[in-house]
A and B are shown apart, each in its own frame.
Chain A
Amino acid sequence: MTDWFHKQRYLIDFSLAALGRRKVRNLGLLAAYSLLVFVLASVMLFTQGLRQEAKRVLAESPEVILQRLVAGRQDLIPPGYLEQIGRIRGVQKMEARLWGYYYDPVVKANYTFMVPGERQIPSGQLVVGPALARERGLVAGNLISFRSYSGRLFTFQVAEVLPQASELMSADLVLLGAEDFRAFFDFPAGHYTDITLSVANPNEVRNVAAKLAAALPDSRPILREEVQRTYASLFDWREGMVLTVLAGALLAFAILAWDKASGLSAEERREIGILKAIGWETGDVLRMKFWEGVLISLSAFLIGYLAAWVHVFHLDGALFRPVLQGWAVLYPHFRLTPQVDGLQLATLFFFTVFPYTAAVLVPIWRAAITDPDAVMRT
């Protein structure tokens, strides 16, 4: 066994020296290889981060959101609706919510106006999200005016700007009191936007939804797990799309690797000839070339993956952000949480190392079967 290890060690030593003798060619290959790994790994790390972030955000959202539909469009919840639902076993809390969208022509963006359930905001005051505060240059204590949809001008004082840490959820958020909300939107008394229900046991969520749909045929229950699933498949799909587009790059790289491996220089050919003349076998030459491939693959994988890591988690994935994350005027600034995922690493390995190895196999074999006398005679 130790013999085997020693043999492999000498082969690796020899391969390293051989790689060093053709620095320019191998560095070029290494650069192209690392670039490929970098691009693929960036896409994967970025979508993984987005998926995690979506999961984290949605973990706090209510299990069921109930909307009322009129002619297939969402409509306000009329008075008495909550009572109609009555008590459903398994539901811990039911809450009617007030929220709506407001288009601000100044920054050409939509804000979400919302009445928070857990805190009271005094009349005439607002709490605003960080992206909105940035766009409008607001700090606590400033006054801001909005023209409502009825044409009246409302002036509010900014009581607080929400912390940066919550930006992913609160970028475009405006929190205000219930009275202000109803006055600003001319919201009919006793009506609400939708209803949220918290269900303690996750296995009960579907039953609760079925009961809701039976009790209120004009309602649409939206489940948190469905939203989560939709986000997960959306990000998967985007990732898959980008990877498919990059398949062209993969193919190009495989061709490059093939070409590099088959374009043996005369010197290299002579080297293999001499090795065989002094007793190396075809299998040994193959093994040496195999170690060369492993060294290049692993270095490229490491360099590419580390570069992608820096790109995604320290430079905010600048190259792929527009394609992968979606678009909005008030897009939140957020940092993705670094995470290494085994499945992702394995997939990336399948995507890069396997095609490379397959592409260089034939050229390597051609080199390895060279007859020593044929080479030395030329």
Chain B
Amino acid sequence: MLFQPAIIALLLAAGLGVAALGGAAPFAWQILRRWNLASGSEGQLTMERRTYLFSSLVALVLGVQLAALLLFVFNADRMSEMFVGAMCAVGTLQVNAWGFPALVAQIAVFFAASQWLLINHLDNQARDYPLVRLKYALLLLLVPLLALSFGLQLAYFKGLRADVITSCCGSLFSGESRGISGEMAGADPRLAMGLYFGSLGLAVAALGSYVLRPAPGRGNGLLAGLASGLVFPAALTGIISFLSLYIYEHPHHHCPFCILKPEYGYRGYALYLPLFLGCAAGLGVGVLQLFRRRPSLAALVPPLAQRLAWVALLALVLFLGLSAGMVWQSNLILLEH
């Protein structure tokens, strides 16, 4: 195992997170079984008080996990100089079999955590804790996910050996390679562009109509959430299949990680931060619609969803503008008219 500060910090954050959520799990179970707002018993009162503690604790842990995704990728990119054959984060993640699963798990934790935090925020606004059971049921689902992410990270970091010869992004993201990365890289650029701009356009239109209408309907919100969710895979496919080519000005370099490097002006961060933010906020607009019909939330959901829709809209428009600008600025001609 490599003894590196960032690795220690990541493991510390994930380990403490699992411990905290694990500690909260019995309480969550108790809430699911015994929560009764109508009761004035001492047990109920204690539970109500404890929800403050556990909500804050889980919010802290999940908030840290949002930042941990960034640190994980940043660190993987930085460590590439330690492995023979690695030129960016891909090489580092491929040193053993656990690298990419750990990244995927961390991304899953990111989206799950962002939606949980949103539900928590909404629930805290209402007087009668309408979502408390749901919140803690979801928490029980989050515990194994976070534990899995921690386990994968531990396995990955423990298996990092500097004498392993890894392969660089050129071999993983090429049309010839097997598996999902090869499919994404080998996708026809026209099709990928259609999918990319189509899904982004749909999400922006749905979010835009949600924001601009005086009283947007439930269906509109659900559509905005669904479209924002679809943007994520479509945008990743687009980045791998054509956007990266324009950034590198090279017809065969498909890597979605090299764009994070200083040689390319850290443009990857400028793309990924709004993408993740926009998708998470957009998904949130959809998730909020599910609770619109609850009496105590009917007045709270619309303004919150409206704010989130604005955030998602601005982030996705920024993402769209940046990526279109990068294609525009590039000297590469991928498609001939």
Contacts and interface: CB of A to CB of B under 8 A. Distances in A.
A236 B71 CA distance: 17
Interface in A318-373: 342-344, 346-347, 350-351, 354-355, 357-358, 361-362, 365, 368-369
B337 interface: no
A232 B49 contact: no
A286 B307 CA distance: 24
A346 B70 contact: yes
A265 B185 CA distance: 63
B53 A362 contact: yes
Interface in B38-69: 49, 52-53, 56-57, 60, 64, 67-68
A240 interface: yes
Given A286-B56, A350-B71, A354-B13, A236 B81 contact: no
B20 interface: yes
Contact of B20 (A228, A342, A358): A358
A237 B74 contact: no
A361 B53 contact: yes
B49 A361 contact: no
A125 B280 CA distance: 71
A236 B75 CA distance: 13
A303 interface: no
Interface stretch (B1-9, B190-198, B251-259): B1-9
B104 interface: no
User: Considering residues B9, B20, B75, B82, which has the most beta carbons from chain A within 10 angstroms of its beta carbon?
Assistant: B9
Interface string B78-119: 100110100000000000000000000000000000000000
Given A236-B2, A240-B8, A347 B71 contact: yes
B8 A343 contact: no
B162 interface: yes
B52 A346 contact: no
B60 A361 contact: yes
B150 to A, nearest CB: 15
Contacts of A232: 81-82
B141 interface: no
A347 B9 CA distance: 6
Interface in A205-263: 225, 228-229, 232-233, 236-237, 239-241, 243-244
Contacts of B20: 358
A244 B4 contact: no
B82 A343 contact: no
A240 B162 CA distance: 16
Contacts of A283: 52, 124
Interface string A278-322: 000011001000000000000000000000000000000000000
A233 B80 CA distance: 12
Nearest to B5: A347
Interface string B227-242: 0000000000000000
A236 B4 CA distance: 6
Interface in B159-200: 162
Interface in B1-44: 2-10, 12-13, 16, 20
Nearest to A342: B74
Contact of A357 (B8, B60, B75, B81): B60
A351 B12 contact: yes
A36 interface: no
Nearest to B61: A358
A66 interface: no
A171 interface: no
Contacts of B9: 347, 350-351
A44 interface: yes
A270 to B, nearest CB: 20
B16 A358 contact: yes
Nearest to A365: B53
A346 B71 contact: yes
B52 A354 contact: no
Contact of A361 (B5, B7, B57): B57
Contact of B5 (A1, A44, A282, A368): A44
A241 B84 CA distance: 24
A298 B83 CA distance: 36
A228 B83 CA distance: 11
B71 A240 contact: no
B278 to A, nearest CB: 19
B8 A244 contact: yes
A233 B53 contact: no
Contact of B82 (A229, A358, A365): A229
Contacts of B53: 361-362, 365
A355 B67 CA distance: 15
A350 B13 contact: yes
B74 A240 contact: no
Contacts of B162: 229, 233
B271 to A, nearest CB: 17
A244 B2 CA distance: 13
29 contacts: A229-B82, A232-B81, A233-B2, A233-B82, A233-B162, A236-B2, A236-B4, A240-B3, A240-B4, A240-B7, A243-B8, A282-B49, A283-B124, A343-B75, A343-B78, A346-B71, A346-B74, A347-B6, A350-B10, A350-B13, A350-B67, A351-B9, A354-B64, A355-B16, A358-B60, A361-B53, A361-B57, A365-B53, A369-B49
Interface of B: 2-10, 12-13, 16, 20, 49, 52-53, 56-57, 60, 64, 67-68, 70-71, 74-75, 78, 81-82, 84, 124, 162, 307
Given A233-B162, A240-B3, A368-B52, 20 more contacts: A228-B81, A229-B82, A229-B162, A236-B4, A236-B5, A239-B4, A282-B52, A286-B52, A286-B56, A343-B71, A344-B5, A346-B6, A346-B67, A347-B5, A347-B71, A350-B13, A350-B67, A350-B68, A351-B5, A358-B60
Interface of A: 1, 44, 225, 228-229, 232-233, 236-237, 239-241, 243-244, 282-283, 286, 342-344, 346-347, 350-351, 354-355, 357-358, 361-362, 365, 368-369
The 6 A-B residue pairs whose C-beta atoms are closest, nearest first, are A240-B3, A350-B9, A365-B53, A369-B49, A347-B9, A347-B6
